[in-house]
């Protein structure tokens, strides 16, 4: 215990020194002042910074909830959530899809200690987002959404949630925004192959199991992201990821209106040639040296693909002017379109390139 306290003291002292050095670098006048004056200015700046952080935390904690997912009355998953909207006694909560996936009951624990059962309004596998509605008889305030596109790498951010469960509810970690528009491949069907690219914010603020679904906020108290995952390797530290709020809002609007995210359909089953084994290439009659394109294994009757003249056995080489390198990339391009969009598609058939146009459904 003494060893733990010693380590903790060292960490806290080190952090205070770091903050002091940051302020010295930011205040150009400090270097021209005497030692006593410099110390006074540094202490003032650190106090102001600390006060700003604590004020933001105080105002934000009541907007963060615990999410407890049950299956057959057994608790099987815990996470966090952020208050998104409040309409009289109805409160909408954002969390992660993986926190509530498979649940037959979801309870929401508020900062005031009240726990109520919620209704899952919708969820989305690809963005790992879910929307929950609860009815309460007390006042709740929502987060103000920031603009993740305007967030700057290097700015301070805070992650709030319930790491390791409700026992540590309201835990706050601090770090910087380490990167934007990071591409993180994810395996959605647990077959060991990445089949979707998530575009995320990167932070070194600690994100642990139970933080999932909680808010990532800036020092203005604005919601700029929803914490989703971290890289859990012994060789990696401080690499957490959050879904940018600009994307979150778009998904929430669909979940609130439709209960699901409506994405366009081309109407094909396909395999990325880059993911094929030698055996698969031989069985489909594809040259072993070919590594790009999308092999069409089937076409749905009456689909946009069939109407556009795409056939089983065709190889899609480009979609809307972009060369196809994998199924994952094709799916990302397709889901970036809207229903009724017209797209140009180039396929290879018997060694001949054919250009066609499809209206997505």
Q: Is residue 143 part of a domain?
A: no
Supply the range of the domain harboring residue 68. Answer: 63-135
Q: Is residue 274 part of a domain?
A: yes
The whole-number pLDDT of residue 211 equals 85
Structure confidence by residue, pLDDT tens digits, 275-298: 899 999 999 999 999 999 999 999
The whole-number pLDDT of residue 194 equals 80
At 307, the pLDDT band (50, 70, 90 cuts) reads: very high
Q: Is residue 279 part of a domain?
A: yes
Higher pLDDT, 189 or 311: 311
Higher pLDDT, 192 or 146: 146
Q: Are residues 279 and 308 in the same domain?
A: yes
Share of the chain above pLDDT 90, in %: 69
Residue 18 has pLDDT above 50, yes or no: no
CATH number of the domain that residue 277 is part of? 2.30.42.10
Residue 1 has pLDDT above 80, yes or no: no
Structure confidence by residue, pLDDT tens digits, 26-76: 444 434 434 445 555 555 555 666 678 899 999 999 999 999 999 999 999
Number of domains composing the chain: 4
CATH number of the domain that residue 184 is part of? 2.40.10.10
Structure confidence by residue, pLDDT tens digits, 114-124: 999 999 999 99
At 290, list the tokens.
Answer: 């070919």
How far is 180 from 176, CA to CA, in rounded Å?
11
Q: Are residues 332 and 286 in the same domain?
A: yes
Of 100-114, 154-168, 333-347, where does mean pLDDT reach its minimum? 154-168
Confidence (pTM): 0.78
Active site residues: 98, 128, 212
């Amino acid at each position: 215990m003494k060893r733990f306290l010693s380590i903790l003291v060292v960490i806290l002292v080190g952090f205070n020194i770091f903050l002091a050095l940051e302020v010295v670098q930011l205040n150009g006048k400090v270097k021209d002042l005497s030692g006593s004056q410099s110390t006074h200015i540094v202490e003032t700046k650190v106090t102001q910074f600390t006060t700003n952080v604590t004020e933001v935390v105080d105002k934000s904690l009541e907007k963060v909830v615990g999410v407890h997912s049950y299956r057959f009355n057994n608790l099987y998953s815990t996470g966090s959530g952020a208050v998104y909207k409040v309409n009289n006694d109805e409160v909408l909560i954002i969390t992660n899809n993986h926190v509530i996936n498979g649940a037959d009951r979801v309870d929401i624990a508020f900062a005031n200690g009240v726990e109520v059962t919620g209704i899952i309004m919708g969820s989305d596998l690809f963005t790992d987002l879910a929307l929950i509605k609860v009815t309460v008889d007390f006042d709740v305030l929502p987060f103000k959404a920031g603009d993740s596109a305007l967030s700057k790498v290097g700015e301070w951010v805070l992650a709030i949630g319930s790491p390791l469960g409700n026992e540590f509810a309201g835990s706050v970690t601090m770090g910087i925004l380490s990167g934007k528009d990071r591409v993180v491949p994810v395996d959605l069907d647990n077959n060991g192959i990445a089949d979707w690219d998530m575009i995320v914010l990167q932070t070194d603020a600690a994100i642990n199991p139970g933080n999932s679904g909680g808010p990532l906020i800036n020092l203005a108290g604005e919601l700029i992201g929803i914490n989703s995952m971290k890289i859990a390797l012994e060789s990696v530290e401080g690499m957490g990821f959050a879904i940018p709020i600009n994307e979150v809002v778009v998904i929430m609007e669909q979940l609130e209106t439709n209960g699901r995210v409506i994405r366009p359909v081309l109407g094909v089953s396909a395999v990325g040639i880059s993911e094929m084994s030698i055996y698969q290439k031989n069985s489909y009659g594809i040259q072993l040296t070919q590594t790009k394109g999308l092999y069409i294994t089937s076409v749905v009757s009456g689909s946009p693909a069939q109407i556009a003249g795409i056939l089983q056995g065709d190889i899609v080489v480009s979609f809307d002017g972009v060369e196809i390198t994998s199924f994952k990339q094709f799916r990302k391009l397709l889901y970036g379109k809207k229903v009724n969009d017209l797209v140009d598609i180039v396929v290879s058939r018997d060694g001949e390139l054919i250009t066609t146009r499809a209206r997505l459904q």
